[in-house]
Structure 1
Amino acid sequence: MSSYPKTSALMARGSEFLGSEHAIMCGAMSWVSERNLVSAISNAGGFGVIACGAMTPELLDSEIAETKKLTGKPFGVNLITMHPDLFDLIDVCARHEVGHVVLAGGLPPKGSVDAIKQKGAKLIAFAPMLALGKKLLRSGADALVIEGMEAGGHIGPVSTSVLAQEILPELAAENLVFVAGGIGRGDMIAGYLEMGAAGVQLGTRFACATESIAHPDFKKAFFRASARDAVASVQVDARLPVIPVRALKNKGTEEFTAKQREVAAVLDREEIAMAEAQLQIEHYWAGALRRAVIDGDVENGSLMAGQSVGMVKAEEPVADIIAGLMQESEAALTLRNRV
């Protein structure tokens, strides 16, 4: 099956907005969502997104340039709102005429939305609750991603299914809303599209794609894992708000607990400000994730994965993953229309 009329019709708004054949975004996964995977997803009809993470402006400049050498299709860049060089990163995106910027990690700092929009890019923002979604749209966001706690990496407290029921009926008719978190099959994509979603975002299903540069041992850990192996981190100190992270349980998850205690102690001694403390936590995750993804240290590194990890059984080319998702969605919609 290479034609998906029912699914494509429901994705039409999202596809037009993204400029891609299918309204399937790839979640930004640090060290994983780089030039090779991003370009492969865009070339296969999806929408790749570079994970800037803790990159410097110089590194992001190079990554965008190298990605453009591998694809002529649209792709986006995900920026973390707490990055100290956020506005410089926005300028880098503008110089490369990146069409879509995704802001994640909290409320956009003052002036950042205007800076993105004035430079011609479309802004996609994460909304973990209805009220915040409305506020972001009023502030200039062109589209929202609602991501539930089933997702990998940084997560919120509410499940995708509940967020979808709260937000899609309120906002989806007049706004572009993409659903993320725990999506592993096209049947689920079909359900969210029928509820009004403009498209979806998946990360875990793409993490072990053939084109992913993730270490073979990182991929093997995913293949062995079940949904219950992807657990959320625990916040140790209420005075140090830490966004929970979902990853496969290993020694690295235990080490993060110790890292929180260490940073909290420094904060207690008033040696650093709260913003710097939270940034140290982010840098920890970036380093721990690199150890797993690049070095293959699956015991001590961070194996960020969503609960859909149990559906990742083998290495597949990106094109096959996307085609499979579209086929499953189309089959589900066709069956429902017959009933």
Structure 2
Amino acid sequence: MERGRAFLGTEHAILCGAMSWVSERNLVSAISNAGGFGVIACGAMTPDLLDAEITATKALTTKPFGVNLITMHPGLFDLIAVCAKHQISHVVLAGGIPPKGSVEAIKAFGAKVLVFAPTLALAKKLLRSGADALVIEGSEAGGHIGPVATSVLAQEFLPALAADHVVFVAGGIGRGDMIAAYLEMGASGVQLGTRFACATESIAHPDFKKAFFRANARDAVASVQVDPRLPVIPVRALKNKGTEEFTAKQVEVAKLLDTGQIEMGEAQLQIEHFWAGALRRAVIDGDVENGSLMAGQSVGMVTEEQPVAEIMAQLMSECEAALTR
């Protein structure tokens, strides 16, 4: 974990996965203050909103934290400029291959760039092109996911990359023993989202948290892709009316594509906006029936509200006990 700690500038190489509406100033600062690395989920924010969120987070912590930007955001370069203004130390590019010039624009103001890659070939290409670290995320994760399990990705990527690169493992990690296992395989650290979603400091609605406490791993299901032309990245969330509504939304957008009323880029954006709205309904308004309850399969290990510092201490003591054994 030493290399991950040095890379992040933290006490523990534990990143918090960026969860829209959840990974905001309160949770991000709490994670950084507890020795981890908080990450603001920019999601569909405007540059002004991101500016305000970074300012508010800085007021709550003096420790390092990062910003997660979605590569398909139409104002990506304006958001990068906001990160530059605040001298953000680490930027995570998520949701697709970074567009031309984005990695360079981030590195230009001295920040480190973390990227996701679904295949080993693409991971190598992104690292050659200037990315400073890689997050490999398995299908057990919550939110947008790829098709391959974390354990398989770890066996494929870590032996090939871990000696020369900083690699974080994400997806389905709920206990410190699992962190230890990936560290032993060569990972520099891990990323957890679901485990922190219901922390005391999380602003998520009490009903959102209760839905997590009631759920088990089987309840966190991946969305289905209705139309092969719509490049919809599957999303893992707790099954409810909202997951059914997403299927209907895809049908609606596909029809608009058929009739030429919208272009492919606009179609993708409509899908993203659907998720942003559905997430807000669940996280902020507490509409757990119609909103989106994005959760990883480790949700069954989230059984009560705990302060972030307690979760972090528990993970680290479990990890150390496993390594000592």
TM-score, L = length of structure 1: 0.96
What amino acid is aligned across from residue 95 of structure 1 in structure 2? K
* Superposed counterparts of 1:229-248, under 5 Å: 229-248=219-238
Aligned to 1:140: 130
* Superposed counterparts of 1:144-293, under 5 Å: 144-293=134-283
Aligned to 1:47: 37
Residue 138 of structure 1 deviates from its aligned partner by 0.7
Q: Secondary structure at the match of 1:316?
A: coil
Q: C-alpha distance in 1, partners of 2:234/2:37?
A: 26
What amino acid is aligned across from residue 259 of structure 1 in structure 2? K
Aligned to 1:122: 112
Q: Secondary structure at the match of 1:278?
A: helix
Aligned to 1:297: 287
The number of residues matched between the two structures is 325
What amino acid is aligned across from residue 36 of structure 1 in structure 2? N
Residue 126 of structure 1 deviates from its aligned partner by 0.6
Q: Deviations over 1:168-215 (max 9, x none)?
A: 000001000000000000000000000000000000000000000000
Q: C-alpha distance in 2, partners of 1:269/1:176?
A: 46
Aligned to 1:5: none
Q: Deviations over 1:68-95 (max 9, x none)?
A: 0000000000000000000000000000
What amino acid is aligned across from residue 83 of structure 1 in structure 2? H
Q: Secondary structure at the match of 1:40?
A: helix
Structure 1 segments of 4 or more deviating over 4 A? none
Residue 128 of structure 1 deviates from its aligned partner by 1.5
What amino acid is aligned across from residue 241 of structure 1 in structure 2? P
What amino acid is aligned across from residue 75 of structure 2 in structure 1? D
Residue 248 of structure 1 deviates from its aligned partner by 0.1
Q: C-alpha distance in 2, partners of 1:172/1:271?
A: 47
Q: C-alpha distance in 2, partners of 1:263/1:194?
A: 45
Task: Identify the match of residue 321 of structure 1 among 307, 311, 320.
Answer: 311
Q: Secondary structure at the match of 2:282?
A: helix
Structure 1, gaps ≥5 residues long: 1-10
Aligned to 1:8: none
Q: C-alpha distance in 1, partners of 2:155/2:233?
A: 23
Q: C-alpha distance in 1, partners of 2:197/2:152?
A: 25
User: Percent same amino acid at aligned positions?
Assistant: 83
What amino acid is aligned across from residue 124 of structure 2 in structure 1? K
What amino acid is aligned across from residue 106 of structure 1 in structure 2? G
Aligned to 1:4: none
Q: Secondary structure at the match of 1:156?
A: coil
Aligned to 2:13: 23
Q: C-alpha distance in 2, partners of 1:142/1:151?
A: 22
What amino acid is aligned across from residue 199 of structure 1 in structure 2? G
What amino acid is aligned across from residue 235 of structure 1 in structure 2? Q
Q: C-alpha distance in 2, partners of 1:26/1:163?
A: 19
Residue 317 of structure 1 deviates from its aligned partner by 0.2
